[in-house]
Structure 1
Amino acid sequence: MTDRTLQSGTLICTRRCGKETVSLEPDDFKRNFSKVSYPSPKENLFMLAETAPCRLSPSIVTPLISLADGLAAFRAFLKTEFSEENLEFWLACEDFKKTRSAAKLASKAQRIFEEFIDVQAPREVNIDFQTRELTRRNMQEPSLSCFDQAQGKVHSLMEKDSYPRFLRSKIYTDLLSQTQRRLS
């Protein structure tokens, strides 16, 4: 049994495994969320309480991005800032890591590189020269980890720049209000 309470951006969850506090504040974002796994992108924002942080996994998953309502809200916010390519690249990399067919791996990698990494790509992400060149070299023999460095840079950029602004945005406060009403 789980009891959920929202208190100024902090979700407090009481579970059988003990009392947990899961913060949605930017300072706690990485510590609380970088290694939490979630059951389904279709769950709402407060389903976070059902899984966090008792079950940890080695995957790098941002809970807001892994939940349908949070993903839609964060994407809408990034569009207002003209930086949705960061999220789209991050999601493309997550999908790429699930590729099990060697035949599809190279073509998927090439598509991601041409869309997000290459200079003058249609949705070019903001990464440094060294990361771009490392990724270019990784493309010679694509592997499931060939975008890890670039994805990490983009994740860090979102975490330190876009995400804190998102938490102060009307889009986010509206999402919290809607979710709180659903729980009432």
Structure 2
Amino acid sequence: MKTRLGCLSNKSDSCSDFSEFLPPAQERTTRCLKLSNDEVTRWADSFDILLSNKYGLAAFRTFLKTEFSDENIEFWLACEDYKKIKSPAKMMSKANKIYKEFIDVHAPREVNIDHRTREETKNRLLEPTPHSLNEVQAKVYSLMEKDSYPRFIRSKIYQDLLNRTQIYCQRKSV
């Protein structure tokens, strides 16, 4: 992490390089993204704040990958995209894709949900609406909020990022 956070610059009020949390394609086009210590600190205030911040979301995704549970955030994000679809044909296609990838018992990235929720979701997706995935999405969100999020806040990824932004900001203010 030290080498990846080595892009600190005195030219910005922000405090830490965040390129390590970007997907490779974005990493090539973005040399050095900055974060303030206040921004990173706010992620610990609530799960919603973390998810609403693109860098917080990226850090959380990175953390979940280390825990081999990134299917949860990927499913949640797929549901967020699904809700924006207006075309019934596209909605049906996206619903089927989400079901096959995350909900089906044989899904390659199966999320951990109970049998009843799985069956109800399957039935709702026979005639999908923008709200067809709300219940299952809420369950996965709750699981992440109660389980993964507290571990993320205690994780080395978050603590290192918090410490490095704090140290950098202190150096800048001297």
TM-score computed with the length of structure 1 as normaliser: 0.65
Instruction: Report which of the two has the higher share of strand.
Output: 1
Asked if 1 retains the 8 angstrom alpha-carbon contact of 2:40 and 2:56, the reply is no
Which region of structure 1 is more displaced relative to structure 2, 94-103 or 162-171? Answer: 94-103
Among candidates 106, 109, 128, match of residue 123 of structure 1: 109
Partner of 1:110: 96
- The aligned amino acid for 2:145 is E
Distance (Å, rounded) in 2 between the aligned partners of 1:99 and 1:137: 19
Partner of 2:18: none
Which region of structure 1 is more displaced relative to structure 2, 68-77 or 129-138? Answer: 68-77
Distance (Å, rounded) in 2 between the aligned partners of 1:141 and 1:43: 44
Distance (Å, rounded) in 2 between the aligned partners of 1:43 and 1:94: 26
Higher relative contact order (CA 8 A, sep 6+): 2
Query: RMSD of the alignment, in Å?
Result: 2.6
Size of the alignment, in residue pairs?
A: 134
Instruction: Report which of the two has the higher share of helix.
Output: 2
- The aligned amino acid for 1:127 is I
**Is the radius of gyration larger for structure 1 or structure 2?**
2
> How many Å apart are 1:66 and its aligned residue?
2.2
Asked if 1 retains the 8 angstrom alpha-carbon contact of 2:41 and 2:162, the reply is no
Alignment of 1:147-166 (within 5 A): 147-166=133-152
> How many Å apart are 1:121 and its aligned residue?
0.1
1:82 aligns to what SS in structure 2?
Answer: coil
Asked if 2 retains the 8 angstrom alpha-carbon contact of 1:75 and 1:84, the reply is yes
Q: Is 1:98 matched with 2:84?
A: yes
- The aligned amino acid for 2:56 is G
TM-score computed with the length of structure 2 as normaliser: 0.68
> How many Å apart are 1:117 and its aligned residue?
0.2
Partner of 2:158: 172
Partner of 1:53: none
Partner of 1:132: 118
CA change 1:139–1:44 in 2 (3 A) is farther
- The aligned amino acid for 1:131 is T
Partner of 1:71: 57
> How many Å apart are 1:140 and its aligned residue?
1.0
CA change 1:177–1:110 in 2 (3 A) is same
Distance (Å, rounded) in 1 between the aligned partners of 2:99 and 2:39: 34
Distance (Å, rounded) in 2 between the aligned partners of 1:88 and 1:182: 32
Which region of structure 1 is more displaced relative to structure 2, 68-77 or 138-147? Answer: 68-77
